[in-house]
Structure 1
Amino acid sequence: MTAPAPPPPGPLLGVWAHPDDETYLSGALMAVAAGLGARVVCLTATRGELGGPVPPGSPPGTTLGQLRVTELAEALDVLGVREQVLLGLPDGDCAGIPPAGPVHRIAEVIRAVSPAAVVTFGPDGFTGHPDHRAVSAWATAAFEQAAPAGARLLYAAATADRAAESRDVEEILGVRMNEGADAGEEDSPVVAEEVLAARLRPTGALLERKISALRAHASQTAGALAALGPDRYAAWAAEEAFVDYRTPRPPG
């Protein structure tokens, strides 16, 4: 006789601003949860229509927003995620939207999914992007309104060692992990390792799966892959870390 299988973990809900946010910051987490039999739902606020030009070779008449929604569906399929919610809000203008509407819509999804955990950006937006910051505020307000007892809200974060290891990539790509905030400042995603609620360092098949999902977001990732090479890109994109939103976050 064999012991009964443990029950799957509770549902996981991700709340993000643009297609590809979910894979960069929680792709391995979603894949692991889905592989354990958990319900995983990805909510995306915008279509990411301001994320650059439409790549050459796209079907005639295709807009970037349409392309990125297709890429999102392909990436989630790679990760084993079967449910997604697209709010269809304007890219680049989330900070200007009255929050009551988005908070209400996210709260409705939380009530429907009854997640054990919600993952999203911290107030810093991880990169400081105004859309990220707005989505963090919306998700937090919705969680406080609608989350079931015992649910956890986790903010994407990074440790000081990851920030240090990423400096060369940020210089090559012309991006910053924490625009407007350096490690040690209050408004930064960089935190001390001891306050982390979870940290994933995928390797092997799990890392390959995450990178395959990132490759599905080709309009956003092809340039970075070409600039860094596959090995450096994978090392840079692999790690995922989270802090509990109620935990004070001394800087890393």
Structure 2
Amino acid sequence: MSSLAVTFALSVGTASGFLWTDIGPKKALVCELNLLETCVTQLPPSARRQLPTRLNDLHYLLGQRGAMVLPLRHDHIAGLVITDYEQLPRSQTINWGVGHFSLPLKQQAQLTYWHELGHLYAIDALSRQGQTITSPYQHEWLADLYLVWRIALETQSLDLAWQQYHRRNLAVMADSEFISHWSVPVLAQVLAHYSLEQLNQFDSFNDFWRDISPRLVLHDKDTLNEFSSLMQRTFGAGTVQPLPGYIYWRKATLGEYLTPTLVEVMGQTAAADWLSSQQMTAE
């Protein structure tokens, strides 16, 4: 069985409802939600005490998501991953002035699992450089950065990496609150500058992080807020008329980020026509 098949088998369920997985020099405990109370007894008391006293609180925190991660401060335990794959969507959809569009989502249990592990691998990779993660948004794009590297390693294709790119775009187009997970500005740089063969040259995420981190160009909070406002005005409910002057200085860059996704769901000609109508093409 390939490493992908092994990981997938473990991630979607085990007879005992839990498994341990390596995160650098530490381990993470992976628990299925319906067996959470039994699963967390596998943690040593010093790690268990960092969880809420009422485990039902974790049910509430997970909400309608397919998985979540709780990093732990422990010498040997990196964190706890809780899974509930029944909650995962089968498609990402958006409906705005020009129509309804849907992107089928493949292998969501696997991708969700890798993304959650990515949060813990990111903590490990940055700590090796004496750094810490400073915001929830940084946590999300780092986890997606790990996801792209893992997809390349395990599937020998970047198709699922592009699926994640499109999913992040469509989510924020449908609801600007998802700017908190909009990793597209980072994913665009990875997919533009690294081929599948280049990604496969990195034996670990730590190696990949050391290579890419000096090259990344990151948007500050104010810039992300401007992108969010522009998307809300462009795709929000009831929006049909373009406003050529509204945050015009971000339009061309936003158009670059959205183009691959719009081509995927609308087709080349319709996407080009719409981007032109919104003044989102480079002059």
TM-score range with shorter-chain normalisation?
Answer: under 0.3
Which has more helix, going by share of residues?
A: 2
Based on CA coordinates, which of the two structures has the bigger radius of gyration?
A: 2
Considering Cα pairs closer than 8 Å and 6+ residues apart, tell me whether 1 or 2 has the greater RCO.
1
